[in-house]
Amino acid sequence: MRVGLLQINPTVCDLRGNAFRIVQSAEKAFNDGAHFCLTPELAVIGYPPADLLYYRKTVEQCLEAVKWIAEKTAGMGPVLIGSPSIKTGSDILFNSAFLLNQGRIVKIFNKTLLPNYDIFDEERYFSPSEGPGFFEISGQKVGVTICEDVWNDNDFWEKSKYSSDPVKALADMDVDFIVNLSASPFSEAKHKLRLSMLSSLATKYRLPVIFCNQAGGNDELIFDGRSAALDSTGQVIAAAEAFKEDVLLVDLDDPKKNIISCSDFGLEKEIWEALALGLTDYVRKNGFNKVVLGLSGGIDSALVAALAVYALGAENVTGVLMPSPFSSQGSIDDSLKLSRNLEIETITIAIDELMNSFDAALSPVFSGMSRDVTEENIQSRIRGNLLMAISNKLGSMVLATGNKSEIAVGYSTIYGDMSGGLAPISDVPKTMVYAISKWLNSNGKVLIPERIISKAPSAELSPGQKDQDTLPEYEILDQILHLHVQCSASEDEICAQGFSRQVVRQVLSMVKKAEFKRRQSPPGIKVSDRAFGTGWRMPLASKCSIVTKK
Amino acid sequence: MRVGLLQINPTVCDLRGNAFRIVQSAEKAFNDGAHFCLTPELAVIGYPPADLLYYRKTVEQCLEAVKWIAEKTAGMGPVLIGSPSIKTGSDILFNSAFLLNQGRIVKIFNKTLLPNYDIFDEERYFSPSEGPGFFEISGQKVGVTICEDVWNDNDFWEKSKYSSDPVKALADMDVDFIVNLSASPFSEAKHKLRLSMLSSLATKYRLPVIFCNQAGGNDELIFDGRSAALDSTGQVIAAAEAFKEDVLLVDLDDPKKNIISCSDFGLEKEIWEALALGLTDYVRKNGFNKVVLGLSGGIDSALVAALAVYALGAENVTGVLMPSPFSSQGSIDDSLKLSRNLEIETITIAIDELMNSFDAALSPVFSGMSRDVTEENIQSRIRGNLLMAISNKLGSMVLATGNKSEIAVGYSTIYGDMSGGLAPISDVPKTMVYAISKWLNSNGKVLIPERIISKAPSAELSPGQKDQDTLPEYEILDQILHLHVQCSASEDEICAQGFSRQVVRQVLSMVKKAEFKRRQSPPGIKVSDRAFGTGWRMPLASKCSIVTKK
């Protein structure tokens, strides 16, 4: 039995394009000897379709696309494709897998477990299936699951999220192997977890498990591909490429014929590749080719520039230097050196005169008041305005360069350095920005000038300013933020880990106050298990007070 | 039997403040002769608490607050209060009602039906109850429901959302009346629907229904209060104030003793009051007193200024005129006249010099290129920068003045006129902006100068510019937008209503292209049944193509 895994990179709602990709991949797999093929979850519409599913017409058009794929693959063999379906005579939607054969829809399987946490909102759109089903091919029973359906094993997980277990149900039906149509979003270290979970299932039920994952970036989410097949002992017998499209043929009977493409990456490379894919796809799927970003001489903009060059090519990246009287000569030199290393075009626009114009315009209003953070923000917003103007005129997308640590505590200017179509490293903490930069430099040519890495970080918005005048050391800050943001730890719980209460209280207060900025921030690329963005839904006007006993 | 409805306005996560309000209101109700009292849904933490519920410590602190309320009301009488609860020995949360009596938690009721559509995400946080329960007081059985629990009657609704019906379950238990702890968000016309639905339930089961709703604004959501009691014939026998806190005593045995406070408003007044409450609470709960906004001479900024004065008082509103060479003298005069009518302070800052500075700074980059929308956006972003600077320096919140029509089609500048802490009329279509303005003027003193209402709308970002150069007539535009945004109608479905395909296609394409702006827009105040914001979750990088038969 040979199974073709069509690890495609769909664009959300590009039904024609996605259908075409599915047919093309299926053709390749069948030509290579597949007996049947399967796609990722919701491959016809692309994951996540979000509120586009509220448009009944769109869901009907998905069905048209499914029928078109059925026709086009009629002469090839059976294909199991992910697409939404409507329960006849109702407006109930399912997240489904359509089995196509000989030009017809033979059977529809619906997803049983609907994730509704973090970035997932599937209960918003779909009704659950009563349970999973199987189909037969060449005398073998193929159990069909969709993504979350395999994520509820009560042996593997400390606590199970759902009361039913579709994998157990299929094992009870005596299936011969299990296939899983997935759109499993990337986060650091998830690949290993996923394989280990699938391996545990295979071993527990003594069943081969075949996992077909989406590839590509859709808005904030990266899908890392890495489709895989595991035999009934839990061994990986085939694995597709990481972070790109692939068509993987899995021979269940003769595993030696299989390919194991993706290898383990180190953490820095893993995040780097995810960010590059996210950046490429976000820019491309939004109809852009080129990007522009401000180069401050700091490490964040340097890393984003290097990433953009890796993702899009140097010819598609423009760096803009916008020095003010507070910019050090070192920062200008470092940015120019970076640009030479990366071979990107630069534009330099000094903002002194613009700052003077704002001072003059505002002096009647501000007379008698001392300078404060207002003037720092004006500078940052002048730069935002210049970048957006260049973007508007030249048709390139602005990249915002903020990292997760500064976005967490609000060490950034809304409508200023937070301006952009995408904030590629908004889910990368500052300490990881350093780690990736060092890894990048150690990885062949030194791209980011050493001084950018070694100097003390500064926003250079006032004379002699340093990040650490305002913020705790990044090593400390990032640990506190990890506990608070990823682990939902409270002040007391973080202090119990040995951090100073004063520092913890300061950080948590900054996180809360910055909520209004994050609400208006550009989308980022999720690489952690909790990113700001659609998976972070915090009230803005809230006041954290507690009842204390007297 | 007399029931006290504690229609409080909680601030999210202000556990101390909310607990205090509950105790204070209970004291009043018991002093006035209540036999027991009830609060709105989740009154202890305030609705919606969103991802604050992920903090286990916060939920534990809610329980402390519940116990504190139990102690404080120990000598008064039984109170039924809304708060989250944790299932013992697990991390499972319920949306609960705690029955407190004589200083103790007597019983806990959990919500059965969890809404997970529009702005609701309750499946994200809570597990459902198996079904509702009741308690006895003075020999009467009181059936307990929480918000959505009463919204699933299969006679009232064309289709029911859930398979179970808690009201029917309670009727089968022979309860004597039903109470409902609610946080039912306002939208236009919902009040009548809600009463009619409650009346239908009361009549169907021949049971009195007592509904206690939250009052106040929390972020985008307005809770209009209007708690009410209906007798077993479906008649309203008591009703609390609209759009404010209230303590309502309901005498079930002697309805003549009851008060019916809230009356029906016309649509314009209804929206006006909702917006005023939303604006007041958002500003106040975020720790601000004062607001600042740009006055363009157009109707949107005029209406927002009038609203802010109504909500916060003229002394807390500053209007900023920022004329450019494209601003007509008429617009300046109209803004000044408006400011005199409203008795607000104004600041005037001409932006000519700032525009020149940007032209000069960008001329080397833009040399040889013709002027386009770029220069219009620069103007708008200069104004955004000035407003934010005034906000930063003077500590007032910037109000963005965009209406729903322009936000829908992206007729606005991101980081320019879209800048602000709140966009009060972002859910009000342009035609309704006119209607409310006319209603306001007809309502005593003429506040908005007639010329602002009568002149053709213009952004005045280029010579002689008019909105209708770029957009369809607002009467047409708003109808198309209503069909597409509220009713999820597709191009074909809208055209079938008689609109020109070319216009519909243009509008839908603009709506799609503006998604990236909306993602970064300030929060608004939801007054329709579908607002942009948390209830609108659209992909950014999507491409709507369909498979067509050959």
A147 is catalytic: yes
Return d(Cα A253, Cα A431) in angstroms, integer.
Answer: 47
B123 touches chain A (CB under 8 A): yes
Residue range B294-319: average pLDDT? 98
How open is the CA angle B489-B494-B498, to the nearest 5 degrees?
A: 160
With bands split at pLDDT 50, 70 and 90, how would you rate the model's confidence at A159? confident
Contact B227, B260 (CB under 8 A): no
The pLDDT-based confidence of B298 (bands split at 50, 70, 90) is very high
Check whether A550 has a pLDDT greater than 60: no
Chain A closest CA to B149's CA: distance in Å?
18
Between B65, B386, B546, which is nearest A361 by CB?
Answer: B386
Cα separation, A265 vs A101, in Å, equals 38
CB contact under 8 A, B520 and A516: no
Three-state SS letters, A430-444: HHHHHHHHHHHHCCC
A347 to chain B, minimum CA–CA distance in Å? 8
User: For position A256, what pLDDT does the model report?
Assistant: 92
**pLDDT band for position A160 (50/70/90)?**
confident
Other C-beta atoms lying within 10 Å of the C-beta of residue A497: 11
User: Of all helices (H) and strands (E), which one includes residue B90?
Assistant: none
* pLDDT score at B468: 87
Give residue-wise pLDDT tens across range A307-318: 999 999 999 999
pLDDT of A363-393, one tens digit each? Answer: 999 999 999 999 999 999 999 999 999 999 9
Contact A528, A482 (CB under 8 A): no
Whether residue A261 is predicted with pLDDT greater than 90 in this model: the reply is no
Give me the sheet containing A291-294, strands edge to edge: A345-348, A317-321, A291-294, A397-398
| Residue A249 touches chain B, beta carbons under 8 Å | no
Encode pLDDT of A288-299 as tens digits: 999 999 999 999
Report the pLDDT value the prediction gives residue B145, as an integer from 0 to 100.
98
Task: Determine the average pLDDT of the residues in A216-238.
Answer: 97
What distance lies between CA A398 and its chain's CA centroid? 18
Q: Name the residue among A78, A157, A52 with its Cα closest to residue A113.
A: A157
Question: Helix %, strand %, coil % for chain A, to 5?
Answer: 40, 20, 40
Distance CA A426, CA A524 (A): 5
- A63 touches B at CB < 8 Å: no
Of the residues B223, B543, B549, the best mutation for testing chain A's interface (the one with the most A CB atoms within 10 Å of its CB) is: B543
Q: Average of pLDDT values for B92-108?
A: 97
DSSP string, B8-41: --PPEEEHHHHHHHHHHHHHHHHHTT-SEEE--T
Residues of chain A positioned with their CB less than 8 A from the CB of B516: 286, 421
Transcribe A378-414 into DSSP letters: HHHHHHHHHHHHHHHHHT-EEBP---HHHHHHT-S-T
Detail the DSSP E strand segments found in A131-285. 133-137, 140-146, 177-182, 209-213, 215-218, 221-224, 228-230, 236-239, 246-251
- The phi and psi torsions of B185 (rounded to 5 degrees) equal -65, 145
How do residues A93-145 score in pLDDT, each as one tens digit? 999 999 999 999 999 999 999 999 999 999 999 999 999 999 999 999 999 99
Q: What pLDDT does B549 receive?
A: 67
Please write the tens of the pLDDT for every residue from B246-262. 999 999 999 999 999 86
Span A395-430, pLDDT tens digits? 999 999 999 999 999 999 999 999 999 999 999 999
Give the pLDDT of residue A549: 66
CA-wise closest residue to A389 among B467, B363, B520, B401: B363
Chain A residues 421-450 with CB within 8 Å of chain B = 421
Around B24, how many Cα atoms within 13 Å sit in the side-chain half-sphere? 12
Residue-by-residue DSSP string for A146-173: EGGGGS--TTTSSS-SSS--HHHHHHHT
Per-residue model confidence (pLDDT) at position A146: 98
Confidence band, pLDDT 50/70/90 cuts, at residue A394: very high
Query: Quick check: A282 and B541 CB within 8 A?
Result: yes
What are the chain A neighbours of B521 within 8 Å (beta carbons)? 520
> What pLDDT is stored for residue B189 in this prediction?
86
pLDDT tens digits for range A524-536: 999 999 999 999 9
Query: How far apart (Å, rounded) are the C-alpha atoms in residues B20 and A547?
Result: 9
Query: In this model, does residue A34 exceed pLDDT 80?
Result: yes
Chain B nearest C-alpha distance from A388 (Å):
8
Minimum CA–CA partner of A397 in chain B: B516
- With beta carbons under 8 A apart, name residues in chain A contacting B545: 13-17
Task: Give the helix ranges, DSSP H, for B73-189.
Answer: 122-125, 166-172
**DSSP string over B350-370:** --HHHHHHHHHHHHHHHTTPP
CB contact under 8 A, B546 and A65: yes
Chain A to chain B, count of Cβ pairs less than 8 Å apart? 274
Of the candidates B154, B161, B210, the residue with the CA atom closest to the CA atom of residue B1: B210
**Does a cis peptide bond (omega within 30 degrees of 0) precede residue A48?**
yes
Give me the mean pLDDT over the B437-441 stretch. Answer: 97
* A40 touches B at CB < 8 Å: no
Q: From the candidates A41, A122, A220, A273, which is the catalytic residue?
A: A41
Please give the pLDDT value at position B158: 87
How sure is the predictor about B464, in pLDDT bands with cuts at 50, 70 and 90? confident
Check residue A241 and give its pLDDT: 96
Contact of B408 with chain A, judged by CB distance below 8 Å, is answered with no
State the pLDDT at residue A544.
Answer: 87
Does residue B264 surpass a pLDDT of 80?
Answer: no
Q: Which residues contact B321 (CB under 8 A, 6 or more apart)?
A: B294, B295, B332, B335, B336, B346, B347, B348, B349
The domains of chain A, with CATH numbers, are 2-264 (3.60.110.10), 289-519 (3.40.50.620)
State pTM to two decimals: 0.97
A-chain residues near B50 (CB < 8 A): 537-539
Peptide bond into B40 cis (omega under 30): no
Please give the Cα distance from A226 to A237 (Å, whole number).
12
Q: Is A201 in contact with A153 (CB distance < 8 Å)? A: yes
Looking at beta carbons, which residues of chain A come within 8 Å of B366?
393
- Percent of the residues in chain A that have a pLDDT greater than 90, as a whole number: 93
Query: What does the pLDDT read at residue B116?
Result: 97
Q: Which residues of A79-92 are buried (b: 16+ CB within 10 A; e: fewer)?
A: bbbbbbbbeeeeee
Rounded Cα distance, A236 and A220, in Å? 29
Instruction: State the distance between the two ends of chain A, measured CA to CA, in whole angstroms.
Output: 72
Torsion sign across C-alpha atoms A383, A384, A389, A395:
positive
Closest listed residue to residue B121, CA positions, set B204, B243, B255, B221: B221
User: Cα separations (Å) of B127 from A157, A161, A215, B91?
Assistant: 19, 10, 33, 10
Q: At what angle do helices B329-342 and B299-312 cross, to 10 degrees?
A: 20
The confidence band for A265, taking pLDDT boundaries of 50, 70 and 90, is confident
- CA-CA distance, B300 to A216, in Å (whole number)? 42
Interface contact A542-B52, CB threshold 8 A = yes
B144-196 pLDDT, tens digit each: 999 999 999 989 998 888 999 999 999 999 999 999 999 999 999 899 999 99
pLDDT at B66: 98
Assess contact for B247 and B38: CB atoms under 8 A. no
Contact flag A285-B541 (C-beta cutoff 8 Å): yes
Would you state the structure tokens that stand for residue A176, as one six-digit string? Answer: 């011969």
B contact residues 170-229, partner A, Cβ 8 Å cutoff: 218-219
Q: Do A389 and B377 touch (CB under 8 A)?
A: yes
Tens-digit pLDDT profile for residues A442-499: 988 999 999 999 999 998 888 888 988 889 999 999 999 999 999 999 999 999 999 9
Q: DSSP 3-state assignment of A282?
A: helix
B456 part of contact set with chain A, CB < 8 Å: no
| CA–CA separation, B257 and B237 (whole Å) | 9
| Mean pLDDT rounded to a whole number for chain B | 96
What is the mean pLDDT of the segment spanning A28-53? 98
Instruction: Spell out which residues of chain B touch residue A386, defining contact as CB-CB under 8 Å.
Output: 358, 361-362
Taken in order A285, A286, A287, A290, is the CA torsion positive or negative? negative
What's the pLDDT at B196? 96
Residue contact B365–A347, C-beta within 8 A: yes
The highest-confidence range among A544-548, B122-126, B466-470, by mean pLDDT, is B122-126
SS3 B152: coil
d(C-alpha B463, C-alpha B441), whole Å: 30
**How large is the average pLDDT for residues B2-21?**
98
Quick one: which of A384, A398, A320 has its CA closest to A354? A384
Query: Per the CB < 8 Å rule, is A56 touching B488?
Result: yes
Whole-angstrom CA distances from B422 to B68, B279, B418, B485, B532 are 35, 8, 9, 21, 13
The residues that bridge with A229 in the sheet, in sequence order, are: A210, A238
Q: Which residues are CB-contacts of A108 (< 8 A; sequence separation ≥ 6)? A: A85, A94, A96, A97, A98, A99
Q: Kindly state the average pLDDT of the residues A85-92.
A: 92
Closest alpha carbon within chain B to A516: B421
| ipTM rounded to 2 decimals | 0.96
Residues of B in contact with A90 (CB under 8 A): 159
Q: Which two tokens stand for residue A426?
A: 């908004």
| B89: confidence class by pLDDT, cuts 50, 70, 90 | confident
Strand A36-38 and strand A93-101: the pairing is unpaired
Check residue B411 and report its DSSP letter: -
